[in-house]
Amino acid sequence: MAKITPSVQEAGRFYGWYIVGAGFLISFIGIGTRYSYGVFVKSLDADFQMTRAMTSGVFSLYMLLGCFIAIIGGWAMDRYGPRKVGIFMGTFTGLSLILTSHARAPWQLLITYSLLLSLGTGAVYGVVNSTTSRWFVEKRGIAVAISSAGGGVGAIILAPFAAHLISSFDWRAAFLVIGLMSGSGMIAASLLLIKEPRDIGHLPYGMKSEPVEKDSAERGRSLEAGSLTLAQACKMQPFWFLGLSWLFLSLGLHMVFIHVVPYAVDMGIAPMDAAFILSVIGLANIPGRLISGKLSDAVGTKAVGVSCALIQFGAMLWLMGSSQLWMLYAFAAAYGFLWGGSATVITVLTADIFGMRSLGAIMGMMSGGWAIGAAVGPAIGGYLFDMSGHYSIAFAVGATALFAAACFMGLIRRVSD
């Protein structure tokens, strides 16, 4: 039995920071790939003669399936560990994008993209952040912020990279290249993942002592003291308020991610300039996560989360009145920063409120709510665009969803409150 010691963290050799780095790369690939889909919308419309609602529906089905995969993935992570789950995800991510590059009919996209990519990336957020949370007591906010910021960096890089490949070659080459890179990178990063510190004789960062003479079962119960099972969490009001907050935040976010590029192109902006809107959102997401993570460690979490969601609501109102590129970039900077803040806060709240015992399953359920919002948002946006010929009504719905998220977040109370 390995001796459990906290001394490695003071010596700068705490393995949890490798977990953070691996989580960053997995988020970069899994989330960044997801948020680059908007760049492909116009090409798929043209090649397959699809309506905007149909193109959005491919992504919405992917996210709806991702809801179930997130729940199953959380359970699988608790049972089998993040390394095996991560390798599985990397395999299907690469396979999905490679096969999508060979699709010849719209129905094939529902299999190669919607189904297979949901298997590859549906559980990314829950697996990465529940694993990271297990490794930290102190500095949990900043650790989760760094690992999840990979998705923002992925949006910065992968969206314009995909746009460049499409303009230089075509959308099929773009899917092929990104698929090869994504599958191999996610598998490599997953090899670094370890479920929890005691598996290699460490304590979570900030936990100073644990009697080493306890057997593993006793030690596990000690580390999980005060934690809840998934069944127990589901009976708690904070569980549902958190889930609804995630759902409505996701609805607004994914409506933007899928439709802001075609919205800009439709108003006459060059495709590369429009694709850069996603990069600005991703770039601003990084300081948003880091600053909110620091604030949550220092002054608490809920007020930061509510403030971020309310200001996102205001940013959506700005988007509805935007008519020039600089206005879209200003929106993207504000919205990306605030998205990073609200998402980080909710992740930290989940671990703080429910503990570590079934965190993978609980985070999987929360990710399921996120996936439902991500499925509904783009579908509503595409349908309302086809019905009205513009995005004003769709973005108004997105703004309303963000206001609802702020309200539900404000209602959250800790289990002990």
Q: Quote the domain boundaries for residue 311.
A: 7-410
d(CA 28, CA 22): 10
Question: Which amino acid makes up residue 297?
Answer: D
What pLDDT does residue 18 have?
Answer: 92
Note whether 127 and 82 are within 8 A (CB).
Answer: yes
What pLDDT does residue 3 have?
Answer: 47
Residue closest to 322 by CA, chosen among 251, 272, 259, 271:
259
Confirm whether 1 is domain-assigned.
no
Per-residue H/E/C for 91-133: HHHHHHHHHHCCCCCHHHHHHHHHHHHHHHHCCHHHHHHHHHH
d(CA 231, CA 40): 40
- Whether pTM exceeds 0.85: no
* Packed helices 16-34 and 82-100: angle between N→C axes, nearest 10 degrees: 20
d(CA 369, CA 71): 10
> Which residues have CB under 8 Å from 252's CB, separation 6+?
312, 316, 373, 377, 398, 399, 401, 402, 405
What pLDDT does residue 300 have?
Answer: 62
148 three-state secondary structure: helix
Please state the φ and ψ torsions of residue 124, each to the nearest 5 degrees.
Answer: -55, -50
Residue closest to 234 by CA, chosen among 396, 132, 353, 66:
353
Confirm whether 274 is domain-assigned.
yes
Confirm whether 417 is domain-assigned.
no
For residue 124, the number of C-alpha atoms closer than 13 Å in the C-beta half-sphere is: 36
103: domain CATH number is 1.20.1250.20
d(CA 156, CA 285): 10
d(CA 299, CA 297): 6
Q: What is the tally of structural domains in the chain?
A: 1
Please state the φ and ψ torsions of residue 411, each to the nearest 5 degrees.
Answer: -85, -10
Note down pLDDT in tens along the chain; length 417 residues: 444 444 445 445 788 889 999 999 999 999 888 878 888 988 998 899 888 888 888 988 998 898 788 888 888 888 888 999 999 999 999 999 999 999 999 999 999 999 999 999 988 888 888 888 888 888 777 888 788 778 778 877 888 899 899 999 999 999 999 999 999 999 999 999 998 888 887 788 877 665 444 444 444 444 444 577 778 888 888 888 888 988 998 899 888 888 888 889 888 888 888 888 888 887 887 787 778 767 766 666 777 888 888 989 999 999 998 888 999 999 999 998 887 777 777 777 777 778 766 777 777 777 777 778 878 888 899 889 888 888 889 999 999 999 999 899 888 875 444
d(CA 109, CA 130): 31
Query: What does the chain come to in residues?
Result: 417
Confirm whether 416 is domain-assigned.
no
Note whether 131 and 24 are within 8 A (CB).
Answer: no
For residue 218, the number of C-alpha atoms closer than 13 Å in the C-beta half-sphere is: 6
What pLDDT does residue 94 have?
Answer: 96
What pLDDT does residue 395 have?
Answer: 92
Confirm whether 71 is domain-assigned.
yes
270 three-state secondary structure: coil
Confirm whether 415 is domain-assigned.
no
Confirm whether 303 is domain-assigned.
yes
Question: Which amino acid makes up residue 404?
Answer: A
d(CA 137, CA 235): 25
> Cα dist. 179→98, 120, 158, 307 in Å?
5, 11, 11, 37
Question: Which amino acid makes up residue 314?
Answer: G
